[in-house]
């Protein structure tokens, strides 16, 4: 399946995956993260129940301190 992750195209062999699986595959383990799928916020407790579909637009933002 193909998705867009942080504006980059990504292709995976599996035909479906959850947001939780994507987080583990990509090793996104930052302290403060916001996840959006198709511009909707996905909460951490929803990662494993959120199925990603072909052409989904996923944003994983690392909210670094500073300003």
Partner 1 sequence: MNFKEIKEKLKTKTVGIAGCGGLGSNCAVALARVGIGKLVIADFDKIEESNLNRQYYFWDQIGKVKSDTLKENIKRINKDIEVTNHNVFIEESNFEELFKECDLVIEAFDRSESKEMIVRAMSKFFPDKMLIMGIGMSGWGQNDSIKETRYDNLIICGDQASEISDELPPLAPRVGMVANMQANVALEILLK
* Of the residues 14, 39, 45, 54, which one makes contact with partner 1 according to CB under 8 A: 39
With binding defined as CB under 8 A, does residue 41 bind partner 1?
yes
Closer residue to partner 1 (CB): 6 or 16: 6
DSSP category for residue 39: T
Residue 66 binds to partner 1 (criterion: CB under 8 A): yes
Cα(15)–Cα(37) distance, integer angstroms: 17
DSSP percent split of the chain into helix, strand, coil, nearest 5: 20, 40, 40
Kindly list the residues in this chain that would bind partner 1 in the complex (CB under 8 A). 6-7, 31-32, 34, 36, 39-41, 57, 59, 61-67
């Amino acid at each position: 399946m193909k998705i867009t992750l942080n504006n980059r195209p990504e292709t995976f062999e599996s035909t479906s995956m959850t947001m939780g699986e994507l987080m583990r595959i990509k090793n996104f383990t930052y302290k403060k993260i916001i996840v959006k799928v198709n511009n909707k916020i996905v909460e951490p407790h929803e990662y494993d129940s959120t199925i990603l579909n072909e052409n989904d637009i996923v944003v994983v933002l690392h909210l670094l301190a500073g300003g």
